[in-house]
A = this chain, B = another copy of it.
Amino acid sequence: MNILEKITNELDMLSKSERKVAEVILASPSTVIHSSIAALAKQAKISEPTVNRFCRRLDTKGYPDFKLHLAQSLANGTPYVNRHVDENDTAEEYTDKIFESTMASLEQARKNLDSNDINRAVDLLTQASKISFFGLGASAIVAHDAQNKFFRFNVPVVYFDDILMQRMSAINSRQGDVVIMISHTGRTKSLVEVANLAKENDATVIGITAKGTPLAKECSIVLSVDVCEDTDLYMPMSSRIAQLALIDVLATGFTLRRGSKFRDNLKKVKDSLRSSRFEKKD
């Protein structure tokens, strides 16, 4: 855990003098890692033992150990953070911000994913007699991508981004079919209805959506990619990328479960595209 955050959190638990130390550190942590305990004590206008006690209260062995932790926190320097795009950003600035936010979202999504759920989902997919991917709007792209991947596995797979087709397909589903519903909000009415229809017709419904939403309630497994979208300028951005990464995970899990012979087959599919391309001259 980042020690700077920890200092901020425990600010109330500290004594008056210790808080002075905390303030000096928070004001300029990069100076502190090059200061001796005496220098820091002087700057905070308290005694050296107080600095030492402060360090121990933060569960470090002493001042040098504390500096080590501090140095590490600074090195991380909040690696990938959601940074808001600003009106006056240059191309370079907003490019960096968007890429960083996307990485931060992926990081967050990874933390929130439960590998047991993924395992169960992969189980169901490998045993499915038919797989359907449904999404609308930005999530339609994710469904589209999923179809593109699972299609290569030579299993019956469909994708629809049209409400009526989704409904018809859901009504025709039966035991052994797996339906994957993709929605960032989990609140799109028509999608929830489709999920319900699929469930009523004995299909297994897997949701790539937020937990505790109306859509999630219709699903037997919810793979939740909880990502905050507040960087986004009124467009779904990070969420769909996390969803796509999740599709990659499911597809990879699928191929691993199927064994090495199956992967040879995948290679053939890929190679079949070769004649459609210009040769690479190395």
User: Which A residues lie at the B interface, using CB under 8 A?
Assistant: 33-34, 64-65, 67-69, 71-76, 79-80, 85, 87, 89-92, 94-96, 98-100, 102-103, 106-107, 109-110, 113, 115-116, 118-119, 122, 137-138, 140-141, 144-145, 148-149, 152, 185, 187-190, 192, 213-214, 233-235, 237, 240-241, 244-245, 248-249, 251-253, 255-256, 260, 263, 266-267, 269-270, 273, 276-280
Contacts and interface: CB of A to CB of B under 8 A. Distances in A.
A278 B95 contact: no
13 contacts: A33-B68, A67-B68, A71-B71, A85-B252, A85-B256, A91-B253, A95-B118, A99-B110, A138-B145, A141-B145, A152-B234, A187-B278, A233-B252
Contact of A233 (B64, B110, B266): B266
Contacts of A103: 80, 103, 106-107
A249 B94 contact: yes
Most B CB contacts (10 A, CB to CB) among A74, A103, A187, A248 go to A248
Contacts of A240: 145, 244
Provide the main secondary structure of the chain A interface: helix
Contacts of A76: 75-76
A214 B99 contact: no
Nearest to A95: B249
Q: How many copies does the complex hold?
A: 2
A218 B73 CA distance: 47
A87 B253 CA distance: 10
A146 to B, nearest CB: 10
A137 B244 CA distance: 15
Contact of A75 (B65, B72, B90, B107): B72
Nearest to A102: B245
B214 A278 contact: yes
A235 B115 contact: no
Most B CB contacts (10 A, CB to CB) among A140, A234, A267, A279 go to A234
Contact of A278 (B68, B140, B189, B244): B189
